[in-house]
Chains A and B, each alone.
Chain A
Amino acid sequence: MSEEKGLSQITNNTTKNLIKLIRYVLGNIPGFIYILIMFYVPIAILFAISLTKPSKYVVSWEFTIENYVKVFTEATYYRILWNTFLIVAVATILLIIVAYPIAYYLARVAPNIGDRLLLFTIIPVEINYLIRIYAWRVILGENGFLNMLLISLGIIQKPLTIFFYSWFAVVIVIIHEYLPYVVVPFYLNLRGIPREIYEAAMDLGASRLQILKTITLPLSKPGLLSVIFIVFIPTLGEFAIPSLVGGQTGLMLGNLIDRYLSQFNLAIGATLSFFLLLFSILVSIIMIRIFGYEALYAR
Chain B
Amino acid sequence: MPNETIKNKLIKWSLTAYTIIVIGFFIYFPIAILYIYSVNNTPYFIPEWRGFTLQWFMKIFERSDLINSIWNSLVIALLVTSVSMAMGIPPSFYLVRRKGKIRDIYFLYLMIPFIIPWIIIGVADFIFFWYMGIEKSLLTAALAHIVYSIPLIVVIITPRIYSLDPSIEEASMDLGADELTTFRKVTFPLIFPSIASAAIITFAWSFDNFIISYFTLGNELTWPVWIFSVIGKVPRIMPVINAMSVIIITLSSIAIYTLAKKGLTELF
Contact = CB atoms under 8 A, between A and B. Distances in A.
What does DSSP make chain B's interface, helix, strand, loop or mixed?
helix
Interface residues of B, number: 85
Interface of A: 24, 27-28, 30-32, 34-35, 38-39, 41-43, 45-46, 49, 59, 98, 101-102, 104-106, 109-110, 117-124, 126-132, 134-139, 141, 143-145, 148-149, 152, 176, 179-180, 184, 187-188, 208, 229, 233-240, 243-244, 254, 257, 261, 266, 269-270, 273, 276-277, 280-281, 284, 297, 299
Interface string B15-51: 1101100110011111101100100000011111000
Contacts of A236: 117
A123 B257 contact: yes
B120 interface: yes
A176 B26 contact: yes
Nearest to A135: B30
A237 B249 contact: no
Nearest to B31: A124
A138 B238 contact: yes
Given A27-B90, A208-B11, A280-B116, A124 B253 contact: yes
Contacts of B7: 208
Contacts of A59: 131
A280 B118 CA distance: 11
B61 interface: no
Nearest to A46: B124
A60 B205 CA distance: 37
Contacts of A31: 87-88, 90-91, 110, 150
Contacts of B249: 124, 127-128, 131
B146 A38 contact: yes
B241 interface: yes
Nearest to B215: A261
A144 B147 CA distance: 38
A101 B228 contact: no
Given A132-B31, A135-B30, A148 B45 contact: yes
A24 B93 contact: yes
Contact of B33 (A120, A139, A143, A229): A139
B121 interface: yes
Best-buried of A152, A179, A240, A269 by chain B (most CB within 10 Å): A240
B234 interface: no
Nearest to A120: B23
A35 B110 contact: yes
B16 to A, nearest CB: 7
What does DSSP make chain A's interface, helix, strand, loop or mixed?
helix
B208 A132 contact: no
Given A109-B16, A124-B253, A152 B245 contact: no
Contacts of B48: 152
B56 interface: no
Contacts of B260: 119
Contacts of A32: 91, 106, 109
24 contacts: A28-B94, A31-B110, A31-B150, A34-B87, A38-B147, A41-B128, A42-B125, A102-B19, A121-B23, A131-B249, A134-B245, A138-B238, A141-B45, A208-B11, A233-B117, A237-B120, A239-B119, A239-B211, A240-B214, A270-B127, A273-B119, A273-B124, A276-B120, A299-B159
Contacts of A135: 30-31, 33-34, 245
Contact of A131 (B34, B119, B120): B34
B252 interface: yes
B191 interface: no
Contacts of B29: 139
B228 A130 contact: yes
B138 interface: no
A46 B12 CA distance: 53
